[in-house]
Structure 1
Amino acid sequence: MPSAVRFGVNYTPSEGWFHHWLDFDLDSVRADLDSIAALGLDHIRVFPLWPYFQPNRTLIRPRAIEQLVQLVDAAAERGLDVNVDGLQGHLSSFDYLPAWTRTWHRRNLFTDPDVLDGQAAYLRTLAAALADRPNFIGMTLGNEVNQFSAGPHPDPDRATSDEIDAWLARMLGACEQGAPGKLHLHAEYDATWYQDDMPFTQGQAARHGAVTAVHSWVFNGTAQRHGRTSVPTEHHAAYLVELSKAWADAPHRPVWLQEVGAPAPLIPAEHAAAFTEATIANALDCPDLWGITWWCSHDVSRDLADFPELEYGLGLLTNDRKPKDTARVLAEAAARARSHASAATSGPHTPAPRTTALTVPADPAVRSLCAPGGPVYDAFFRLTADGVRPTTVLDTRADDKDHLAARGITEVVSPEQVLPTPPGDTSS
């Protein structure tokens, strides 16, 4: 019997944001976790800040590791499982990289042998510290680390796709060494799916690690282009889930919607609950969904300066731990999933297969065709608006009957077959 979809939240501490690791207060953490558990969620994703935990390449602070374990144990007491991100990395517009990789010690994050040794040791240490905790889900290598590898980052650590492939294999191997058999993965922002020169590729996202992770943010041009209540905006998360499946080798590889949120002002506060409800419902219509982890748990305090305006109000809960309407929407969805899963007759709700597949180019050099405004993107949402429930398939697999059958696909269409001919184009 398939397991129920997981519902969780990315944990942003209500006091001190992620700087709370500098003044770790377990009582404050426990109060935060109480407010999360009260929503009926089953997991959190947590973010050690890499420079605070490994300030020198050969120093991984034991006290910081101990505090992470205390947080995971406190979560267990409240029935919450925990995924831990390692290489932080990038969070809410700020970069957190240790001094031994920057300026006078500038070394490439993805290719320098000493940096690779330090990263692997750090990830292995974090994983090993939690390996015996039954509520430890596993490691995510870091938060959207692909943003360091190309523009628009102002000082990127350039690497080839082959070098990224080797980096992913080594870092995931370090997590497995530390905590064998846990759910270890990597996660990038949507440039992996949309940006032609991004060295982190779609194939790597869909083949490395135990599950595929997607991060859905409609400030990427989707909400600007189409509006807050449009089909593309309300189905963007589902689109990324289904787009990722084209590159997976396993026909039913799980996909984790690991980050999704309601960013103001594109999604105004008074509309956030409706957006949340639509996004969750549409994502749940995707087969093989591992879980939905909302960004984020608590608002960023206005006492902290220089965040982009949208970051201050993304929490499901306020700084004084009061739930917003978005929290109630997520809580109700989680309760419905639990109810389905516990029903003796039906078991968890399983969406019907998506039988129509839209072809997408296998070549990562033209992945912008899948980005907002591209023909794949536009065709997917035209089909969605027509009630078709599309998925995607690589153009190189469009005639692979075994692959299509394994995924339940009975019809394959190209974007050209879906979209109208542009004015003045008389080609056949």
Structure 2
Amino acid sequence: MPPAVRFGVNYTPSVGWFHHWLDFDLDSVRADLDSIAALGLDHVRVFPLWPYFQPNRSLIRKRAVEDLLRLVDAAGERGLDVTVDGLQGHLSSFDFVPAWTRSWHRRNLFTDPEVIEGQAAYLHTLAAALADRPNFLGMTLGNEVNQFSAPPHPDPDRATGAQIDAWLERLLAACEKGAPGRMHLHAEYDATWYQDDQPFTPAQAARLGAVTAVHSWVFNGTAQRHGRASVPAEHHAAYLVELSKAWTDDPHRPVWLQEVGAPAPLVPPEHAAAFTEATVANALDCPGLWGVTWWCSHDVSRSLADFPELEYGLGVLTNDRRPKDTAAVLARAARAHRPLPAPRTTALVVPAVPGRRSRCAPGGPVFDAFFRLVADGARPTTVLDTRAGDTGHLAARGITETVTPEQVLPTTSRGGTRS
């Protein structure tokens, strides 16, 4: 029997935010983890800040690695598994990249051979140090590193899709060498699926690494266009889960909803619990979902300056560790026993060409067609146009009907082709 869906949070320390690595306080971390474990969740995703751990290309700080191990052990004592991101990277609007890649030492994060070898050494070091911890799930290369590779970043590290392929394969291999057999993966924000000029591609996301990771944020135009309680907003996470499946070569590849949250003011605090409940319920209707990891555990302290306003209140727990209504929603979901979702038999055809990804973005015809189907009572998934006639592929995924965006009408009547 397939394992139950995992429920966890992205761990944002209540004291010092991710700067807590500079003044690591194990007692404070333990108190944070106690408040997470009390919700009945089973895992946390944690974020070493890359410049703090590897301030020089040939220096990986032993004390920082030891502090990470202490955090992982403390989580294990509370029944929490841990997944670790390496290259931080980008977090809550701030970039954290070491000085040896910027300004006078400006080198491309994705193509410079010395930078890549430094990154590989760092990821291998973390993975090897964690390899014997039974509650260590695996490494994610970094958090939304694709935002460094193209606009709207103000100073992007340009690379081709082939160069990103090589970068991902090299760094995933470093993680695997350090901790063989763990769940190593990479994770990007939704420009991978929506932005035509992104060198990080859907095929990479759906084929490289142990699982596919998706990050769902409705401030990408979804909530602005449709409203917080709309079908597109409440099903956006499920859409990304199902959209990712078009590119996978393995019909049973798991998908991890690695980041999802309720961003104010588009989702006002008084409506966050309802949005959370709807988002989680709809994601759980996706076959092959590995887990849901909410962003984030604790609010950002108001004593810290210059964060975008929405970042301060995204926690399911307050900054003094009190649970919010959203925490109760996640706790109920984590406790619930539910049947496995049935296969999604209707597949919306999406373009395989990376340069047509904007058709899948909010306002694009694939996006609009998907949610017309949902509003009509269907449970759609997606399939590439290059595979829409492959009966073996369709059968392996349980698909019995394919439909193009042009065939989907905003009524109960729609056309399709039986496979």
TM above 0.5, yes or no, is: yes
1:294 is aligned to 294
**Partners in 1 of 2:403 and 2:34 — Cα distance?**
48
1:424 is aligned to none
Are 1:115 and 2:102 an aligned pair?
A: no
Which residue of the other structure, out of 335, 342, 345, is the alignment partner of 1:355?
A: 345
**Partners in 2 of 1:116 and 1:388 — Cα distance?**
45
Offset from partner CA, 1:278-335 (integer Å, 9 cap, x none) = 0000000000000000000000000000000000000000011000000000000001
Structure 1 residue 419: deviation in Å? 3.4
Structure 1 residue 95: deviation in Å? 0.1
- For the 8 Å contact 1:194–1:367, the answer to whether it is kept is yes
**Partners in 1 of 2:268 and 2:213 — Cα distance?**
26
How many residues align? The count is: 411
**Partners in 1 of 2:365 and 2:89 — Cα distance?**
33
Are 1:368 and 2:358 an aligned pair?
A: yes
The AA in structure 1 aligned to 2:47 is: F
Matches within 5 A, 1:90-129: 90-129=90-129
Structure 1 residue 349: deviation in Å? 2.3
**Partners in 2 of 1:420 and 1:76 — Cα distance?**
50
The AA in structure 2 aligned to 1:82 is: V
* Partner SS, residue 235 of structure 2: helix
The AA in structure 1 aligned to 2:325 is: D
Offset from partner CA, 1:393-421 (integer Å, 9 cap, x none) = 00000000000000000000000000369
**Partners in 1 of 2:410 and 2:176 — Cα distance?**
49
Q: Which runs of 4+ in 1 moved over 2 A?
A: none
**Partners in 1 of 2:253 and 2:13 — Cα distance?**
32
Are 1:416 and 2:406 an aligned pair?
A: yes
**Partners in 1 of 2:270 and 2:318 — Cα distance?**
15
**Partners in 1 of 2:409 and 2:299 — Cα distance?**
41
The AA in structure 2 aligned to 1:83 is: T
Matches within 5 A, 1:19-98: 19-98=19-98
* Partner SS, residue 246 of structure 1: helix
Task: Calculate the TM-score normalised by the size of structure 2.
Answer: 0.98
Structure 2: where are the runs of 5+ without partners?
412-419
Are 1:388 and 2:378 an aligned pair?
A: yes
Offset from partner CA, 1:372-394 (integer Å, 9 cap, x none) = 00000000000001110000000
* Partner SS, residue 391 of structure 1: strand
2:414 is aligned to none
**Partners in 2 of 1:159 and 1:140 — Cα distance?**
20
**Partners in 1 of 2:410 and 2:320 — Cα distance?**
51
2:417 is aligned to none
Structure 1 residue 154: deviation in Å? 0.2
Structure 1 residue 252: deviation in Å? 1.2
The AA in structure 2 aligned to 1:377 is: F
The AA in structure 2 aligned to 1:186 is: H
2:226 is aligned to 226
The AA in structure 2 aligned to 1:414 is: T
The AA in structure 2 aligned to 1:72 is: V
**Partners in 1 of 2:409 and 2:169 — Cα distance?**
39
- For the 8 Å contact 1:4–1:349, the answer to whether it is kept is no
* Partner SS, residue 85 of structure 2: strand
The AA in structure 1 aligned to 2:396 is: A
- For the 8 Å contact 1:18–1:47, the answer to whether it is kept is yes
1:135 is aligned to 135
- For the 8 Å contact 1:222–1:372, the answer to whether it is kept is yes
2:392 is aligned to 402
The AA in structure 1 aligned to 2:315 is: G
* Partner SS, residue 386 of structure 2: helix
Matches within 5 A, 1:179-328: 179-328=179-328
Are 1:330 and 2:320 an aligned pair?
A: no
Are 1:154 and 2:144 an aligned pair?
A: no
1:343 is aligned to none
**Partners in 2 of 1:320 and 1:234 — Cα distance?**
29
* Backbone CA RMSD of aligned residues: 0.8
Structure 1 residue 251: deviation in Å? 0.5
